[in-house]
Amino acid sequence: MSSFTQFIACKGTLTNVSVPRVMGIVNVTPDSFYAQSRVSKAKELLRKVEEMLRRGADFIDVGGYSSRPGAADVSPDEEMRRVIPAIESIHRNFPEAKISVDTFRARVADTAVQAGACMINDISGGHADPEMLDVVAKHQVPYIVMHMRGNPRTMQKLTGYSLDIVTEVNRFFAASIQRLHRKNINDIIIDPGFGFAKTLEQNYMMLKHLNRFLLHRKPVLVGMSRKSMLYKLLQTDQNEALNATTAVHILALLKGASVLRVHDVKEAKEAIRIVSYMDGITKNRL
Q: What number of residues does the chain have?
A: 286
- The pTM for the full model equals 0.93
In CATH, the architecture of 7-285 is Alpha-Beta Barrel (3.20)
Chain segment 244-274, per-residue pLDDT in tens:
999 999 999 999 999 999 999 999 999 999 9
CB 271 within 8 A of CB 262: no
Question: In sequence order, which residues have a C-beta less than 8 Å from that of residue 45 and are 6 or more positions away?
Answer: 26, 28, 39, 86, 89, 90
What pLDDT shows up at residue 37?
55
Name beta bridge partners: 23: 59, 261
Distance CA(106)–CA(125), nearest Å, equals 12
Active-site residue among 82, 218, 261, 269?
A: 261
Distance CA(215)–CA(28), nearest Å, equals 35
Q: How far apart are the first and last CA of the chain?
A: 16
Q: Which residues of the chain have pLDDT under 50?
A: 33-34
Distance CA(209)–CA(160), nearest Å, equals 19
Active site residue 261: yes
The three-state secondary structure class of 284 is: helix
Active-site residue among 227, 232, 255, 266?
A: 227
Question: In sequence order, which residues have a C-beta less than 8 Å from that of residue 275 and are 6 or more positions away?
Answer: 1, 20, 250, 253, 254
Q: Using alpha carbons, list the distances in angstroms from residue 21 to 16, 118, 142, 273.
A: 9, 16, 14, 11
Active site residue 227: yes
The torsion angles phi and psi of 100, rounded to 5 degrees, stand at -110, 140
